[in-house]
Structure 1
């Protein structure tokens, strides 16, 4: 009886530890700081779309001010479109290394909306990763790039901020290990039927509950994409699925990683699958209140551990 009691106590202790450990595991990220970032990015007087350059500049200035706190170098990458100046924000760490990893997220929105998931969530991830990774001894230079003009009417044009940046790397023969695109990492649901897919058969393999993050690849993601996928799955901070497919599948190339593929750089997209899950996509309902901050923190921590362990 005494032996059974000790076994039960041990099992209970393990369960309590596992639950506490699951909660404590997110302490690496700063919830308050993430919430402040979300507010600063989404609460501009006018939506941060291409027509409201003042709002775009306000957000760009905020991103720069936060990257300055973590990075060795921070610059604007300005360029002209239709007579107006738009700008990417680039923060760099590990500048003693030649080969780079690019971590990117766009900060503009489509139309008049907050764009909390699309894509303030990705930019917040970018900022928090810069803070965390700046404390590590890494094997690569990392450039954290916040892009402008990802959204229509500039998507798939040379006016995209990510095209401008990828073209700069290509023109200057800068060696790149790979690019990680953060595109919508904030929306989740525990309801059955909350997750859709471009191919119906995927629901059988992945399920219909929108509780995971996805590593999206194509044949151009190469060994870098496979390494990111494996490392993401090994961390066990948040449920992680992967999808590798052609750009003919709707959504596979729907973000800034597209332009790195076009210049033959290996790249992946980290996403909650956007409109296949979040019905607030490109609407005024895409607000901070719809985001799951702890799930976001889990994605950020998992990415941090993944990048930290890249070979």
Structure 2
């Protein structure tokens, strides 16, 4: 199969995942437990069919049992050093959540398929995370908070966490990309004004991880990448599962299309599968795989 044919097939698979999550299932939250169960089953089936053994990290949220879905590729030389790659699968009640966050779940599934059978020096842990969105956000019930705290309690050596957060919305019009007012003026000139890139954003303690991610990503895809390490006082960079790992002292990055800074459908009923750019999403997958190779030692 040619490279063009492979990308076309990958774009079609990404569209299928998003259609099933945001179209067939729709809003995925504990107000409708059946939607969370359907989502969990879908993800588990995809990972199992890809050849993985899926484990469930179960806990209570809003007095209901929920779980993170975890698969691992054990490291060959430094198995005690772990790279975590995660994407949350829930939504707020007002949206079918195509970009937020079916797009990132779709990327996670396709990354998992590509990594199956590969060998890395460090352990690679892929997680579909529960309950990132309000009312769980930063109240101790986020799946990433549960997992990050568990990593710290087990004294695990997490060398980095990649939070996949909204990866499907792209535009080429000038002015389609907003820049947070909290970004220092010296940095603002560096941020593109066209929403045609993916951003990798870390806190100041994650600079080394950011550099490795950037090197691996850019070797593997032509999709533009903006990489930034910023102080955590800039609240926009804490709005995903990466912050749960920062709170436990681990380096982490948010990999994102920048969410509400470009996507007008954020948390709206209009965040539907037809608004996404699957061809450019198909460029994200090899980029993330290349970054995992660079960080985990492929």
The normalised TM-score by structure 2 is: 0.91
Residue 10 of structure 2 is aligned to residue 30 of structure 1: yes
The aligned runs of 1:270-289 (5 Å cut-off) are: 270-289=255-274
Range 151-160 or range 231-240, more displaced: 231-240
Deviation at 1:29, TM superposition (A): 6.4
| CA–CA distance in structure 2, aligned partners of residues 71 and 154 of structure 1 | 32
Q: Following superposition, which runs of at least 4 residues in structure 1 exceed 4 angstroms of deviation?
A: 200-203
* 1:179 counterpart = 2:179: no
Larger radius of gyration: 1
Specify every segment of 5 or more residues in structure 2 that has no aligned partner in the other structure, as ranges. Answer: none
Q: Provide the rounded CA distance (Å) in 2 between the counterparts of 1:95 and 1:235.
A: 22
Q: 1:236 to 1:298 in 2, by over 3 A?
A: closer
Task: Tell me if structure 2 keeps the 8 A contact 1:26–1:297.
Answer: no
Number of residue pairs the alignment of both structures matches: 290
Q: 2:34 aligns with which of 51, 54, 74?
A: 54
Counterpart check, 1:246 vs 2:231? yes
Q: Deviations over 1:102-139 (max 9, x none)?
A: 10000000123210000001101110000001132222
Q: Could you tell me whether the CA contact under 8 Å between 1:115 and 1:282 is conserved in 2?
A: yes
Counterpart in 2 of 1:302? Answer: 287
3-state SS of paired residue (1:138): coil
Structure 2: how far apart are the matches of 1:26 and 1:222?
Answer: 33
Residues in 2 aligned to 1:131 and 1:196: alpha-carbon distance in whole angstroms: 34
1:254 CA drift (Å)? 0.5
Q: Is 2:73 the partner of 1:93?
A: yes
1:104 aligns with 2:86: yes
Deviation at 1:25, TM superposition (A): 8.7
Instruction: State the SS of the aligned residue for 1:118.
Output: helix
> Could you tell me whether the CA contact under 8 Å between 1:196 and 1:203 is conserved in 2?
no
- Asked whether 1:148 is paired with 2:148, we answer no
SS in 2 for 1:210: coil
Equivalent-residue separation in structure 2 for 1:222 and 1:210 (angstroms): 24
Q: Contact 1:46–1:52 (CA<8 Å) still a contact in 2?
A: no
Deviations 1:74-99 (A, max 9, x none): 11111112321111111122265222
Aligned-pair distance for 1:227?
A: 1.2
SS at match of 1:73: coil
Contact 1:133/1:308 (<8 A) preserved: no
Give the alignment partner of residue 193 of structure 2, picking from 208, 216, 223.
208
Q: Which has the higher contact order (CA 8 A, sep 6+)?
A: 2
CA distance in 2, matches of 1:28, 1:64: 25
Task: Quote the Cα distance in structure 1 between the aligned partners of 2:110 and 2:53.
Answer: 16
Query: Does residue 268 of the first structure (1) align with residue 250 of the second (2)?
Result: no
Do 1:136 and 1:308's aligned partners in 2 also have CA atoms closer than 8 Å?
no
Distance in 1 (alpha carbons) for counterparts of 2:149 and 2:23:
32
Unaligned stretches of 5+ residues in structure 1: 1-20
**RMSD over aligned Cα, in angstroms?**
2.0
